[in-house]
């Protein structure tokens, strides 16, 4: 019988040093705080993190970066008003940055997850972010070759999940989660609530269970924005 439920610690136990980990969330919305803190406790280091931002305050992703666990960030906007953690590490030369336009980042994940090795996009053509990349003209426009992105793990958050891994999200906390779920070898989900198979209408399933490997039920999950506003720090 298929049952993807895991305990929190067990869900992230096999993340190895040097792994590439996709982390859902846009700003604080959708940030899988409990999974990130479990990964912190687990101890993996030299991680490559793929995420739109680089965390806020001193919790979650920012805590991993602050404590030197992240070797490289692939992201579109490594800045937040309330955190200098990434900037400090970057200035000190202690973290590598691959800056990717947000839509290109999304499409690289979608393509990677769909088995498409590369694609052409007009985004970034003629700019510094296209330097050194292959370009090709289609019609009267220049396009840039970008590569699909796959990872070892994805850590994402959803609102409801069932035993088979079907997922429904909450508002703009959805953001990167569905395309990270498809792009990771092992997708780990923290869900606000767990329901029986059949309780999610098949017409409204956003991420079908085939893309999900592990489900951890975390009711009343912490909101990253609330933790940051309270000045929280992890550990």
Partner 1 sequence: MSETTQRSMGWSRREIARNIARDIPDGSVVNLGIGMPELVASCIPPDREVLFHTENGLLGMGPPPQPGEADPELINAGKQPVTAIPGAAYFHHADSFAMVRGGHIDICVLGAMQVSERGDLANWSMGEGDAAPAVGGAMDLVAGVRTIFIAMTHCASDGTPKIVERCTYPLTGAAVVSRIYTDLAILEVRAGELGVVELAPGVDFATLQRQTQAKLVMPRVPRTA
Pairwise CA distance, residues 220 & 217, whole Å: 10
Query: Roughly how many angstroms between the first and final C-alpha of the chain, as a whole number?
Result: 37
Nearer to partner 1, 97 or 195 (CB): 97
Residue 133 makes contact with partner 1 by CB under 8 A: no
Site membership for partner 1, residue 191 (CB under 8 A): no
Determine which residue in the list 60, 165, 178, 209 makes contact with partner 1, applying CB under 8 A: 178
Q: Are 3 and 163 in contact (CB under 8 A)?
A: yes
Q: Which stretch binds partner 1 (CB under 8 A): 13-21, 38-46, 94-102, 196-204?
A: 94-102
Task: Determine how many CB atoms are found less than 10 A away from the CB of residue 73.
Answer: 25
Nearer Cβ to partner 1 (217/225): 225
Q: Is 171 in the site for partner 1 (CB under 8 A)?
A: yes
Is 80 an interacting residue with respect to partner 1 (CB under 8 A)? yes
Residue 193 binds partner 1 (CB under 8 A)? no
Using the Cα atoms of residue 13, residue 54, residue 184 and residue 1 in order, give the sign of their dihedral. positive
Token duo for residue 48? 């490559």
User: Binder to partner 1 among 71, 195, 205, 206 (CB under 8 A)?
Assistant: 206
Q: Look-up: residue for tokens 């992230």?
A: 12
Q: Among residues 162, 180, 160, which one has the least CA distance to residue 170?
A: 160
Q: Give yes or no for a contact between 174 and 24, defined as CB atoms under 8 angstroms apart.
A: no
Is residue 211 involved in binding partner 1 (CB under 8 A)?
A: no
110 binds partner 1 (CB under 8 A): yes
Q: Minimum distance between the CB of residue 99 and partner 1, rounded to whole angstroms? A: 6
Enumerate residues 11-40 that contact partner 1 by CB under 8 A: 26-30
Dump the DSSP string for 41-76. HHT--SEEEE-SS--STBSHHHHHHHTT-EEEEEES
Q: Is 217 in the site for partner 1 (CB under 8 A)?
A: no
Name the 3-class secondary structure at 116. Answer: coil
Distance CA 201, CA 204 (A): 6
Q: Where are the alpha helices (DSSP H) in 84-160?
A: 85-91, 102-113
Residue 223 binds partner 1 (CB under 8 A): yes
Residue 205 interacts with partner 1 (CB under 8 A): yes or no = no
Figure out which of the listed residues 40, 86, 211, 234 binds partner 1, where binding follows CB under 8 A: 86
- Residue 197 Cβ vs partner 1, minimum distance, rounded to whole Å: 23
150 binds partner 1 (CB under 8 A): no
Residues that bind partner 1 (CB under 8 A): 26-30, 52, 76-80, 86-87, 90-91, 97, 99-107, 109-110, 121-129, 169-179, 206, 223-226
């Amino acid at each position: 019988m298929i049952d993807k439920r895991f305990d929190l610690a067990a869900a992230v136990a096999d993340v190895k040093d040097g792994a590439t980990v996709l982390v859902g969330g846009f700003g604080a919305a959708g940030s899988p705080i409990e999974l990130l803190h479990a990964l912190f406790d687990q101890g993996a280091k030299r991680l490559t993190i793929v995420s739109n931002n680089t965390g806020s305050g001193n919790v979650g992703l920012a805590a991993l970066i602050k404590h030197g666990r992240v070797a490289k960030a692939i992201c579109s906007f490594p800045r937040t008003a309330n955190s200098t953690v990434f900037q400090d590490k970057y200035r000190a030369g202690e973290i590598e940055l691959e800056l990717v336009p947000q839509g290109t980042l999304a499409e690289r994940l979608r393509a990677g997850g769909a088995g498409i090795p590369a694609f052409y996009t007009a985004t970034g053509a003629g700019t510094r972010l296209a330097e050194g990349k292959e370009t090709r003209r289609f019609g009267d426009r220049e396009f840039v070759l970008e590569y699909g992105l796959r990872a070892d793990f994805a850590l994402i958050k959803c609102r409801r999940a069932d035993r088979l891994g079907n997922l429904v999200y909450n508002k703009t906390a959805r953001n990167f989660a569905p395309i990270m779920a498809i792009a990771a070898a092992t997708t780990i989900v923290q869900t606000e609530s767990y329901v029986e198979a059949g309780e999610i209408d098949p017409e409204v399933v956003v991420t079908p269970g085939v893309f999900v490997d592990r489900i951890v039920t975390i009711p009343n999950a912490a909101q990253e924005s609330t933790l940051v506003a309270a000045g929280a720090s992890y550990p």
